Amino acid sequence: MSNESLANLLREERRFAPPADLAAAANVTAEAYEQAKADRLGFWAEQARRLTWAAEPTETLDWSNPPFAKWFADGKLNVAYNCVDRHVENGLGDRVAIHFEGEPGDSRSLTYADLQREVAKAANALTELGVQAGDRVAIYLPMIPEAVVAMLACARIGAPHSVVFGGFSADALATRIQDADARVVITSDGGYRRGKPSALKPAVDEALTRPGTENVRSVLVVRRTGQETAWHEGRDVWWHELVDRQSEQHTPEAFGAEHPLFILYTSGTTGKPKGILHTTGGYLTQVAYTHHAVFDLKPESDVYWCTADVGWVTGHSYIVYGPLANGATEVLYEGTPDTPHQGRWWEIVQKYGVTIFYTAPTAIRACMKWGDDIPAKFDLSSLRVLGSVGEPINPEAWVWYRRNIGADRTPVVDTWWQTETGGIMISPLPGVTETKPGSAQVPLPGIAATVVDDEAREVPDGAGGYLVLTEPWPSMLRTIWGDDQRYLDTYWARFGPGQSATGVAWRYFAGDGAKKDDDGDIWLLGRVDDVMLVSGHNISTTEVESALVSHPKVAEAAVVGATDPQTTQAICAFVILRGSASESEGLVEELRAHVAKALGPIAKPKRILPVAELPKTRSGKIMRRLLRDVAENRALGDVTTLTDSSVMELIQSKLPTASED
Ligand code: WT7
């Protein structure tokens, strides 16, 4: 079966019309697309009215100095006031903002009134530590309510935060502290992970011995695990000692809409991490709108849960800022999906009656691997919308998710966006879009995206190329912290500025390969650096992976192109087999034939290596660079951002038994 007929099969046999009840009551209707198309800026100006402004903006977009955008520039607002205080003022103080579930099973719920008190106290504490508007604060915490409180407290006093994922090493933390020149670090003694306390504070202590971190005056430490913690007198201060004694009153100051809200580092495949800068008014407008539209949020009745970590942009936009700006009730979970058992997530869904669930394809595939009987043990009937983010979701995992978690009833929204875009850009809308497994489908109202070829020409339906965003959007990154040139070079130089019908057009290059199907729907094909060149054909690693996992014996697959004297690159696949499947004699041959049948002989992997685990970053992205090192028999590159560095030793130990033809 060719590529195209695979896509056709998915289109014809697996299209899902939105459930009638959802369609009837959806937050957004199909007209929104038309309205936004007719007046894009008017549309965003209207969405900005979801926020409470201290000074209403009179100007929507200033694009006079592209690619440096200003949105709602003369507006003034306080982000924390919008996420917390205004809900209390509107009589919603008793509504639960956060149901916290710790990994060991401890739980606590914070209402909006509680959150207001906590954020006010933390803001007062930061002020007492000398933090002023504009100062950067690094946050290195587990998934506990204090992480959310700390971010909101920074936002409240106009101090941009830089959240560093709690799983990162002292090195990674030090680089980020240096680059942002942070003045304060907020951390904890540790957090619970996989059934035991795991220390965080030692990494901060180590990072602060590095040159370039001298400007950190204070380290504010939350007590979470109670473990033994080294103390640096005069610098370290316990959260419960400093924050708890502060006043619960704090008057929020209004900042300009372009005041920096946060810096978040994206690892990038090479070079030093990029500090992506987001600002306030446009960012909050888009994350609030998209959270309302894409998840069809009904704040008075929904219980929303996003399983991401606050260390990633998903946590910033869809745990902290979007949901709280909308007055949502949400779950915050500290641990891993399989601690203490593989049904932990579903147990939490059942406990809180979660209605909207947002997770990543890698997690969905892990649950698939653990077996259908696990979610079947829990009552998941409260769920009404399921979301996916982080990488292309293979149609099999999409269908499994809808069927086994969503009881074949809920829409699945496949949301494409990036740290740089700040908010969701391409996604179906529940109740509006007929969904297709594996496709993010359509740009949201107010968003302009398309697929272009090497010469920046828009490709016709049915063809592939590069994903570009053709108009600025409110939550776009404003620059790379301290490096305007790199911002220009990385995102805007590849396809612009070029002439278009309306003058000079700037196109944002997302770095992702994409294609448009015959209906004009967009399918994401992964990072362009993940496209292989085999005997003159461009083959996407994602498509081969998707074909492999459509085989009943394969749970997960990672594909790389290894340099090959005959074919430029040869396809090399690493597969994790399903629980019951074993590495039998003919299996590799069977899988190769399966891919050839699904995608054509050109896509048949030259090598297939069954492995126990795949190397992943802590955000769940497969580190293909390391697999390429293995496939090309090279020494391994940097493994410091891996979740578990022993995985690579395991994979390499398998090499001699690799099947090859
Ligand atoms: C890259 C951005 C967005 C929050 C988490 C990741 C890939 C993300 C999808 C999707 C296909 C996706 C892209 C993108 N990606 N969502 N729904 N379908 N690919 O943020 O770490 O900045 O990564 O993740 O390759 O460019 P990030």
pTM for the structure as a whole: 0.88
Q: Which of 310, 416, 473 to probe ligand 1 with, by most ligand atoms within 8 A of CB? A: 416
**How far is the C-alpha of 314 from the C-alpha of 331, rounded, in Å?**
14
Distances, alpha carbon 387 to alpha carbons 301, 305, 355, 405, 447, in Å: 18, 10, 11, 11, 19
Q: Which of 42-56, 321-335, 540-554 has the lowest mean pLDDT?
A: 540-554
Domain 535-657 has CATH 3.30.300.30: yes
pLDDT at residue number 656: 47
| 313-348 CB burial, b ≥16 within 10 A, e <16 | bbbbbbbbbbbbbbbbbbbbbbbbbebeebbbbbeb
User: Is residue 440 within 6 Å of ligand 1 at its C-beta?
Assistant: yes
Rounded to the nearest whole angstrom, what is the distance from the C-alpha of residue 424 to the centroid of ligand 1?
10
3-state secondary structure of 239: helix
Q: Which residues contact 14 (CB under 8 A, 6 or more apart)?
A: 395, 399, 436, 437
User: Is residue 438 within 6 Å of ligand 1 at its C-beta?
Assistant: no
pLDDT at residue number 657: 39
Residue the block writes with tokens 């409180």: 149
**How far is the C-alpha of 346 from the C-alpha of 378, rounded, in Å?**
6
535 marked ligand binding residue:
yes
Q: Which of 120-134, 296-310, 315-329, 576-590 has the lowest mean pLDDT?
A: 576-590
Would the pLDDT of 462 be above 80?
Answer: yes
pLDDT at residue number 336: 93
Does residue 354 contact residue 304 with C-beta atoms inside 8 Å?
Answer: yes
28-58 tens-digit pLDDT? 999 999 999 999 999 999 999 999 999 999 9
Does residue 159 contact residue 126 with C-beta atoms inside 8 Å?
Answer: yes
User: Is residue 525 within 6 Å of ligand 1 at its C-beta?
Assistant: no
User: Is residue 316 within 6 Å of ligand 1 at its C-beta?
Assistant: no
User: Is residue 360 within 6 Å of ligand 1 at its C-beta?
Assistant: no
Atom of ligand 1 nearest to the CA of 419: 22
- Mean pLDDT for 483-487 is 95
pLDDT at residue number 230: 98
User: Is residue 510 within 6 Å of ligand 1 at its C-beta?
Assistant: yes
Does residue 313 contact residue 422 with C-beta atoms inside 8 Å?
Answer: yes
232 marked ligand binding residue:
no
pLDDT at residue number 598: 82
**How far is the C-alpha of 65 from the C-alpha of 117, rounded, in Å?**
41
Would the pLDDT of 660 be above 50?
Answer: no
479 marked ligand binding residue:
no
pLDDT at residue number 499: 60
User: Is residue 512 within 6 Å of ligand 1 at its C-beta?
Assistant: yes
- Mean pLDDT for 184-207 is 96
195 marked ligand binding residue:
yes
Residue 380: both structure tokens together? 């998941």
Atom of ligand 1 nearest to the CA of 510: 26
Residue type, 434: E
- Please give the DSSP secondary-structure letter assigned to residue 200: -
**How far is the C-alpha of 195 from the C-alpha of 419, rounded, in Å?**
30
Q: Which CATH architecture has domain 449-524?
A: Roll (2.30)
Would the pLDDT of 535 be above 90?
Answer: no
Q: How confident is the model at residue 661 (pLDDT cuts 50, 70, 90)?
A: very low
Would the pLDDT of 581 be above 50?
Answer: yes
User: Is residue 390 within 6 Å of ligand 1 at its C-beta?
Assistant: yes
Would the pLDDT of 469 be above 60?
Answer: yes
- Mean pLDDT for 193-222 is 97
Q: How confident is the model at residue 71 (pLDDT cuts 50, 70, 90)?
A: very high
CATH of the structural domain 39-335, one choice from 3.40.50.12780, 3.40.50.10380, 3.40.190.290, 3.40.50.720:
3.40.50.12780
Domain parsing of the chain, residue ranges: 39-335, 449-524, 535-657
- Return mean pLDDT, the chain: 92
Written as one string, the DSSP assignment of 84-131 is IIHHIIIIITTSEEEEEE-TTS-EEEEEHHHHHHHHHHHHHHHHHTT-
242-291 tens-digit pLDDT? 999 999 999 999 999 999 999 999 865 556 789 999 999 999 999 999 99
Q: Closest Cα partner for 615 from 631, 591, 594, 596?
A: 631
pLDDT at residue number 311: 94
Would the pLDDT of 646 be above 90?
Answer: no
